[in-house]
């Protein structure tokens, strides 16, 4: 077991987590630690499903990955017993928003007008960050308020963008 796992176990003990069963917020690294998953470049790194991070040819093809049904140490990159139930862990809304934005940007036509508009609109962001789909909250808000951006997207991108905006407005 890792030192981080043992430290988290000790910390949860000090807070009497077993007694109170609070809901916890954490990024994906904290989630992995809390449910006993292996860190690093692992094959099954998702705590919700059996997404295969090494199956590059199917990442944008396969839409439904099998649901993770257990967190058994020694199976599917689980190295320790879970410290908390996955149902008690929540991801912060900003992390969800950034992840969705990254997926949206990855799916954009790299030679299309939409991505070119982003380059021209966000002049303080390097091409490398744009090509690697790295955005921060204020940049996302700026694009969400820009009607011209909507118009420069192709039909598929526009539908995805409108869905993303609805999720941010109505869910997050």
Q: Which residue has the tokens 């969705």?
A: 100
pLDDT bracket for residue 61 (50, 70, 90): confident
Q: What is the mean pLDDT of the chain?
A: 82
Q: How many CB atoms lie within 10 A of CB 164?
A: 18
pLDDT at position 167 over 70: yes
Domain ranges in the chain? 3-90, 93-171
| pLDDT at position 98 | 82
Closest CA to 102 of 62, 131, 142: 131
Evaluate if pTM is beyond 0.85. Answer: no
Q: How many CA atoms lie within 13 A of 123 on its CB side?
A: 1
- Class of residue 32 by CB neighbours under 10 A (exposed 0-12, middle 13-18, buried 19+): buried
Rounded average pLDDT over 126-151 = 83
Is residue 79 within 8 Å of 73, Cβ to Cβ? Answer: yes
User: What does the pLDDT look like over 70-101, one tens digit per residue?
Assistant: 888 878 878 888 888 888 888 788 778 888 88
| Tokens matching residue 60 | 């944008």
Neighbours of 103 (CB within 10 A): 13
Residues in the chain: 172
The tokens for 10 are 């000790």
């Amino acid at each position: 077991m890792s030192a981080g796992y043992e430290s988290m176990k000790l910390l949860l003990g000090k807070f009497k987590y077993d007694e109170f069963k609070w809901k916890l917020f954490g990024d994906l690294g904290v989630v992995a630690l809390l449910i006993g998953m292996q860190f690093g470049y692992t094959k099954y790194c998702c705590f919700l499903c059996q997404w295969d991070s090494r199956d590059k040819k199917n990442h944008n093809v396969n839409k439904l990955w099998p649901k993770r049904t257990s967190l058994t140490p020694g199976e599917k990159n689980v190295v320790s017993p879970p410290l908390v139930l996955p149902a008690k862990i929540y991801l912060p809304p900003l992390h969800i928003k950034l992840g969705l934005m990254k997926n949206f940007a990855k799916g954009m036509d790299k030679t299309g007008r939409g991505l070119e508009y982003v380059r021209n609109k966000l002049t303080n962001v390097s091409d490398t960050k744009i090509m690697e789909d790295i955005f921060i909250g204020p940049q996302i808000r700026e694009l969400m308020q820009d009607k011209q951006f909507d118009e420069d997207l192709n039909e598929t991108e526009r539908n995805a963008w409108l869905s993303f905006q609805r999720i941010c407005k109505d869910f997050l």
